[in-house]
């Protein structure tokens, strides 16, 4: 049996990417990740999590740019929100 997805879900998955920038020991990062993954699942968008301290070995600018306001949500590679998931805005942007 073949799984069928709605065209909207396929379209969202093809058009958007979600990245969450985090740091080990960050108290706000785990709840943000749970919320972001739930929203991503609704829209058929996989969430990529990047620890800025680990990534600093190959991309030190990532930690320099975002390391003081984690967690940071990137939508399509651009900063969307920080410290928390701006859920209403994210839902609206993912629906586009």
6-54 confidence digits (pLDDT tens): 444 444 445 899 999 999 999 999 999 999 999 999 999 999 999 999 9
Q: Look at residue 12 and tell me if it is in a domain.
A: no
Distance CA 78, CA 52 (A): 15
pTM: 0.83
Q: What is the pLDDT of residue 96?
A: 86
Q: Look at residue 4 and tell me if it is in a domain.
A: no
Distance CA 23, CA 43 (A): 25
Q: Look at residue 71 and tell me if it is in a domain.
A: yes
Of the pLDDT bands very low, low, confident and very high (cuts 50, 70, 90), residue 5 is very low
Q: What is the pLDDT of residue 15?
A: 83
Q: Look at residue 5 and tell me if it is in a domain.
A: no
Distance CA 21, CA 35 (A): 14
Q: What is the pLDDT of residue 41?
A: 96
Q: What is the pLDDT of residue 31?
A: 97
| 72 pLDDT more than 80 | yes
Tell me, what CATH number does 33's domain have? 3.40.30.10
Domain hosting residue 55, numbered range: 17-95
Q: Look at residue 8 and tell me if it is in a domain.
A: no
Domains identified in the chain, total number: 1
Q: Look at residue 39 and tell me if it is in a domain.
A: yes
Q: Which helix (H) or strand (E) holds 40?
A: helix 29-43
Q: Look at residue 2 and tell me if it is in a domain.
A: no
Q: Look at residue 3 and tell me if it is in a domain.
A: no
């Amino acid at each position: 049996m073949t799984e069928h997805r709605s065209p909207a879900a396929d379209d969202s998955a093809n058009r958007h990417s979600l990245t969450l920038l985090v740091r080990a020991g960050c108290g706000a990062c785990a709840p943000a990740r749970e919320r972001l993954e739930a929203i991503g699942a609704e829209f058929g968008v996989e969430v990529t999590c990047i620890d800025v301290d680990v990534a600093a070995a190959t991309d030190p600018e990532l930690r320099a740019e975002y390391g003081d306001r984690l967690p940071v949500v990137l939508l399509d590679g651009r900063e969307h929100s920080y410290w928390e998931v701006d859920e209403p805005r994210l839902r609206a942007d993912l629906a586009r």
